[in-house]
Amino acid sequence: MKIEFLYWEECPSHTETLARLREVLKESELDPPVERIHVETDDQAVSLKFPGSPTIRIDGADLFPVPDEMVGLTCRVYYTPEGRVTPLPTKDMIRSALAAHRIKITKGG
């Protein structure tokens, strides 16, 4: 499992999101390395198809997919299951997304 954590330094929510990701991984008894990728330029954002900060990818797949045309140096927003907008995913959202990814892998999808 390859985990990438993409962030833009100007976005204030990336530090807390990374901490939440690491907490969920630890709670799930997973210990893969998390590759931190600092996105610094618009060209880099386009090249990485970076939809905003923070972004978590597992094996190249965004845990919270957005339309491909949305890329750039910006702060990202997330929608909770209740429909609220938040600047960072909750631990429950991360946990659910990781579980869905693991199910997808085991079913060969």
Annotated domain spans of the chain: 3-106
Q: How high is the pLDDT of residue 106?
A: 52
Mean pLDDT across the chain: 90
What is the reported pTM? 0.89
**Separation between Cα atoms, residue 85 and residue 12, nearest integer Å:** 16
Q: Is the pLDDT of residue 17 over 60?
A: yes
Q: Is the pLDDT of residue 108 over 60?
A: no
Task: State the DSSP H helix or E strand holding residue 7, giving kind and residue range, or none if neither.
Answer: strand 3-7
CA neighbours within 13 Å on the CB side: how many for 103? 7
The per-residue pLDDT for range 23-63, each reduced to its tens digit, is 999 998 888 899 999 999 999 999 999 999 999 999 999 99
Q: Please state, for a pLDDT cut of 70, what percent of the chain lies above it.
A: 93
pLDDT at 109: 47
H-run or E-run covering 27: helix 14-27
